[in-house]
């Protein structure tokens, strides 16, 4: 699918035609515009915690500035931050990595871009289970790879099976990319489920795996499992993680990978030309995040869990909405296809995008259409906002959907 949402009057590079503006960002922009006109919009489109960054992390940034950490850091990140990441991987995930197998970037988004550009050649096939995070497709298209989707169904909690994976792999498959906990569905692969997928990957040694674990700490079912734990795969797995979600640090722009040394060296080469490395002050703050008290992160997860329970039980009580219980992240991803073909006498809902627009204009709530994530029967609702706001938003949603007959 080639989408150009921005009209350029100048003739610019053709690669721009391969990517579209993320629907999430488009909806957030629209929501801001309506708010600026004085309309009381509740924005449930955002993928960021509504909490402030914990104080001890902010204090570390201030101290870093005062201590003179204001110069270029090493391209791959400060040595002590890379070391802190190794400790974190050992402590939380029982994974052993050396500092030269770790690299820091300007957000997990850049970590992903570095990895995709380091692995994918033009024409290579990249497998992405649906629903997927919007950016995966765009990054693969920029690398001139060919995206092949593996459909995750609501019946299977939006997870793929080993049989589906086996059937999707061809001689041209170069990479498999996924997130667990998943944005947008909140699905979490268990150790057994990952072990079964790992068995398939063992039979296909040409396939790399990008495992996006950015929502690791926002997990409601217990221990986070990484596919990097299966040692036979270890050299082909690029584990991606970051600080945005678990530490409420979206604006700091700090993420990292753990991978084979050669992949890290390739990413470092690219990053050296793109950014010269991540922000030095954010990096110092990142050390405080990883080595400091995790209580604020745990409290945030507890708050997300209460909101999840409220949001899902309320959605399940709205006629026509089919919602599964997310095990992680902070999104509900209900199936709203029962409204397709219905009308309030003025607007007829043909698809998920129409429904998202209907909710925005008639209900003053911003959501994101599922087609942005490869699932056009659904919409995404972020519950990274206060319980009071969520109560008001879901009341508006119930009333607005009831208009459709
Ligand atoms: N991966 C997933 C699945 C995400 O949802 C996001 C942010 O929304 C990211 C990566 C990017 O995180 P960062 O803010 O570290 O770039």
CA distance 339 to 341: 6
The ranges assigned to domains in the chain are 14-52+296-401, 57-291
| The domain defined by 14-52+296-401 carries CATH number 3.40.50.150 | no
Using CA atoms, how far apart are residues 214 and 218, in angstroms rounded to an integer?
9
Q: Given the CA of residue 179, which atom of ligand 1 is nearest to it?
A: 3
Distance 137 CA to ligand 1 centre (A): 14
Q: Of how many residues is the chain composed?
A: 405
Q: Check if the beta carbon of residue 404 is closer than 8 Å to that of residue 349.
A: yes
In angstroms, the CA 392 to CA 395 distance is 5
Atom of ligand 1 nearest to the CA of 250: 14
Q: Ligand 1 site: residues with CB under 6 angstroms? A: 47, 107-109, 133, 179, 183, 212, 214, 242, 244, 250, 255
Nearest-angstrom CA–CA distance, 299 and 304: 9
Q: In what order do the strands lie in the sheet with 379-382?
A: 331-332, 379-382, 368-369
DSSP 48-64: S-SSPPPHHHHHHHHHH
Q: pLDDT tens per residue, the chain (405 residues)?
A: 334 455 667 889 988 888 887 778 888 888 889 999 999 999 999 888 999 999 999 999 999 999 999 999 999 999 999 999 999 999 999 999 999 999 999 999 999 999 999 999 999 999 999 999 989 999 999 999 999 999 999 889 999 999 999 999 999 999 999 999 999 999 999 999 999 999 999 999 999 999 999 999 999 998 899 999 999 999 999 999 999 999 999 999 999 999 999 999 999 999 999 999 999 999 999 999 999 999 999 999 999 999 999 999 999 999 999 999 999 999 999 999 999 999 999 999 999 999 999 999 999 999 999 999 999 999 999 999 999 999 999 999 999 999 999
> Which CA distances in Å does 101 have to 175, 253, 261, 277, 404?
19, 20, 5, 16, 54
In the reported structure, the alpha carbon of residue 214 is separated from the centroid of ligand 1 by a whole-number distance in angstroms of: 6
Choosing from 23, 45, 103, 109 the residue with most ligand 1 atoms within 8 A of its CB, the one to mutate for a pocket test is 109
Instruction: Report how far Cα 69 is from the mean position of its chain's Cα atoms.
Output: 30
Q: Hey, what CATH class is 57-291 in?
A: alpha beta
């Amino acid at each position: 699918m080639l989408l150009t949402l921005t009209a350029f009057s100048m003739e610019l590079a053709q690669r721009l035609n391969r990517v579209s503006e993320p629907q999430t960002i488009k909806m957030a922009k629209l929501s801001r515009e309506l708010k600026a006109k004085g309309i009381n919009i509740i924005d449930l489109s955002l993928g960021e915690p509504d909490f402030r960054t914990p104080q001890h992390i902010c204090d570390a940034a201030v101290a870093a500035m005062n201590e003179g950490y204001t110069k270029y850091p090493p391209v791959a990140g400060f040595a002590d931050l890379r070391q802190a990441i190794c400790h974190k991987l050992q402590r939380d995930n029982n994974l052993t990595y050396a500092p030269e197998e770790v690299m820091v970037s300007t957000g997990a988004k850049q970590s992903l871009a570095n990895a995709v550009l380091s692995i994918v050649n033009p024409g290579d096939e990249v497998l992405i289970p649906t629903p997927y995070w919007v950016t995966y497709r765009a990054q693969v298209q920029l690398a001139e790879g060919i995206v092949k989707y593996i459909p995750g169904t609501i019946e299977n909690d939006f997870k793929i099976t080993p049989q589906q994976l086996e059937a999707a792999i061809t001689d041209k498959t170069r990479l498999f990319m996924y997130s667990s906990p998943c944005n947008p569905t909140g699905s979490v692969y268990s150790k057994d489920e990952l072990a079964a997928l790992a068995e398939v990957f063992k039979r296909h040694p040409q396939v790399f795996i990008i495992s996006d674990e950015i929502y690791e700490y926002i997990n409601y079912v217990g221990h986070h499992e990484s596919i990097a734990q299966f040692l036979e795969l270890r050299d082909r797995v690029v584990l991606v993680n970051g600080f945005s979600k678990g530490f409420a640090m979206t604006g700091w722009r700090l993420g990292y990978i753990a991978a084979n040394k050669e992949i890290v060296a390739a990413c470092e080469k690219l990053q050296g030309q793109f950014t010269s490395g991540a922000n030095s002050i954010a990096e110092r703050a990142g050390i405080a995040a990883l080595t400091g008290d995790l209580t604020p992160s745990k409290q945030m997860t507890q708050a997300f869990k209460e909101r999840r329970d409220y949001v899902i039980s309320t959605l399940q009580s709205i006629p026509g909405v089919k919602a599964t219980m997310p095990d992680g992240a902070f999104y509900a991803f209900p199936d709203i296809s029962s409204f397709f073909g219905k009308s309030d006498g003025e607007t007829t809902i043909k698809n998920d995008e129409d429904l998202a627009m209907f909710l925005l204009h008639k209900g003053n709530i911003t959501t994101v259409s599922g087609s942005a994530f490869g699932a056009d029967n659904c919409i995404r609702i972020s519950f990274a906002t206060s319980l009071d706001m969520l109560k008001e938003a879901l009341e508006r949603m119930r009333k607005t959907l009831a208009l459709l007959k």
